[in-house]
Amino acid sequence: MVRLLTILGAVLWAGVSAAQDTALQRLDTGEDSRDWGAVGRLEIDGRGFCTGALIAPDLVLTAAHCLYDKSTGAAYDVKQIEFRAGWRNGRAEAYRSVRRAVVHPKYAYSGDAQIETVQNDLALLELHHPIRNNRIAPFETSTDLRKGSKIGVVYYAVGREAAPSFQEVCQVMGRQRGVYVLSCNIDFGSSGAPVFVFEDGAVRIASVVAAKAEVRGSKVALGTALDHSLPELFAARGVASAQGARTSLQQRNSTGAKFVRP
């Protein structure tokens, strides 16, 4: 775990207590996971996995860095990526191959997670065939997050890859340059996980997990702010792809702050 430097320290802790967060719950049964079928495990080239979520019947939102081989920096062949909606204990509600991957036009893969990459760490996966299943309802998105907002997260992780885990309540601790600092309890495998806000009786995706860090001895999650990057990602769908994105940063964060990929 790499310590998060002063660049984000000023936005944290004041008036927000992580002690109000709920414990992580494993969604082992159909009843437990009934509302979360649109969250799925992304199987990537047989080498690992990330988390993603449907925002349309044929469109998965995830983290851009999931689409790159961290040892070479090269983009994975989308033919080697599969979305497993509602994956639980060896079975999924639906299996879909990926037709095309589109990354944010300002995202450039780097082995180190810098703030410039985290704030644009979003990708859309277009599925070969839409998922039309009454147990799987795509999520709407929201841009209404503020410091102190109560949020939740659903994800797969190393050691908990057989079923999703759900933290019903965690919090937005601050925001800096298109990156939310979250008190959510995440781990490796949770990259791309949807961060939910509960508003007006609806559950909407308001951020995507991009990295984890440590601040003042406490572990935090870093999420990409959708209002900062999602409109540009949608605008780029016709021209950008994971294969065409740059694989190294032209400029480094002048602070030298580094984050850990979850």
pLDDT (tens, 9 = 90+) of the chain, 262 residues, equals 233 333 344 444 444 555 589 998 999 887 877 899 999 999 998 889 999 999 999 999 999 999 999 889 999 999 999 999 999 999 999 999 999 999 999 999 987 767 778 999 999 999 999 999 988 999 999 988 888 889 999 999 988 899 999 999 999 999 988 999 999 999 888 999 999 998 888 899 999 999 988 777 788 999 999 987 898 998 988 643 333 332 222 222 322 333 456 6
User: Is residue 138, in this structure, part of any structural domain at all?
Assistant: yes
The count of domains in the chain is 1
Task: Find the radius of gyration of the CA atoms of the chain.
Answer: 17
How far is residue 260's CA from residue 202's CA, in Å, rounded to a whole number?
31
User: Is residue 260, in this structure, part of any structural domain at all?
Assistant: no
User: Is residue 222, in this structure, part of any structural domain at all?
Assistant: yes
User: Is residue 262, in this structure, part of any structural domain at all?
Assistant: no
User: Is residue 252, in this structure, part of any structural domain at all?
Assistant: no
- Token couple for 255: 């602070």
Give the three-state DSSP class for 124: strand
- Kindly report the CATH number assigned to the domain that includes residue 39: 2.40.10.10
Cβ(93)–Cβ(54) below 8 Å: no
User: Is residue 27, in this structure, part of any structural domain at all?
Assistant: yes
Residue 89, Cβ density class (10 Å: 0-12 exposed, 13-18 middle, ≥19 buried): exposed
User: Is residue 1, in this structure, part of any structural domain at all?
Assistant: no
Tokens 């860095």 map to which residue? 65
User: Is residue 241, in this structure, part of any structural domain at all?
Assistant: no
What region does 177 belong to: left with phi over 0, alpha with psi -120 to 50, or beta? left
Which residue range is the domain that position 185 belongs to?
6-235
